[in-house]
Amino acid sequence: MITASCPGANFREKMLITHRGLSGPAILQASSYWQWKANAPVTIDLAPEQEWTAPLRNGLGRRDLVAARGALREVLPQRLADQWIERHQPEDWTNRSLELLENAVHRWEIRPIGTEGYEKAEVTAGGVSTAELSSKTMESRKVPGLFFIGEVVDVTGWLGGFNFQWAWSSAVAAAQAIEKK
Ligand SMILES: Cc1cc2nc3c(=O)[nH]c(=O)nc-3n(C[C@H](O)[C@H](O)[C@H](O)COP(=O)(O)OP(=O)(O)OC[C@H]3O[C@@H](n4cnc5c(N)ncnc54)[C@H](O)[C@@H]3O)c2cc1C
pLDDT, one tens digit per residue, over 4-56 is 988 888 999 999 999 999 999 999 999 988 877 778 889 999 999 999 999 99
Q: Is 150 in the pocket of ligand 1 (CB under 6 A)?
A: yes
Phi, psi of 12 (to 5 degrees): -100, 95
> How far is ligand 1, taken at its centre, from the CA of residue 151, in Å?
7
Among 7, 180, 29, residue whose Cα is nearest residue 109? 7
Distance of alpha carbon 152 from alpha carbon 72, whole angstroms: 45
Does the pLDDT value for residue 114 go beyond 90? Answer: no
Separation CA 11–CA 25 (nearest Å) = 9
Mean pLDDT of the chain: 93
Q: What is the mean pLDDT of residues 119-130?
A: 90
Calculate how far, in angstroms, residue 128's C-alpha sits from the geometric centre of ligand 1: 16
161 lines ligand 1 (CB under 6 A): yes
pTM: 0.85
Examine the pLDDT at 59 and tell me if it is beyond 80: no
pLDDT in tens, 130-161: 999 999 999 999 999 999 999 999 999 998 89
Q: Which atom of ligand 1 is nearest to the CA of 160?
A: 9
Q: What is the mean pLDDT of residues 61-90?
A: 95
Query: Closest residue (by CA) to atom 3 of ligand 1?
Result: 122
Distances (CA, A) of 77 to 23, 49, 157: 16, 17, 30
162 lines ligand 1 (CB under 6 A): yes
At residue 60, the pLDDT reads 74
Mean pLDDT of 91-98: 94
Residue 108 confidence class, pLDDT cut points 50, 70, 90: very high
Give the C-alpha distances (Å, rounded to integers) separating 161 from 30, 103, 133, 158, 169. Answer: 16, 34, 23, 8, 12
| Whole-number pLDDT of residue 61 | 77
